[in-house]
Amino acid sequence: MFFSFLKKSLTISTYMEFNSFESTLSQQEKEWTGPKLVGLLLITLLIALSLIYVASSLNNR
Q: What is the pLDDT of residues 22-51, one digit of tens each?
A: 566 565 555 566 777 788 889 999 999 999
* CA dihedral over 58, 6, 20, 34, signed as positive or negative: positive
Q: How far apart are CA 61 and CA 56, in angstroms?
A: 9
Average pLDDT over all residues of the chain: 73
Diameter over CA atoms, the chain = 49
| Amino acid of residue 9 | S
pLDDT category, 4, cuts 50, 70, 90? confident
Number of domains in the chain: 1
Q: What is the DSSP letter of 28?
A: S
45: helix, strand or coil? helix
Which domain range does residue 40 map to? 2-60
Residue 56 has pLDDT above 70, yes or no: yes
For the chain, what's the residue count? 61
| Amino acid of residue 4 | S
| Residue-level pLDDT at 44 | 93
Average pLDDT over residues 6-12: 64
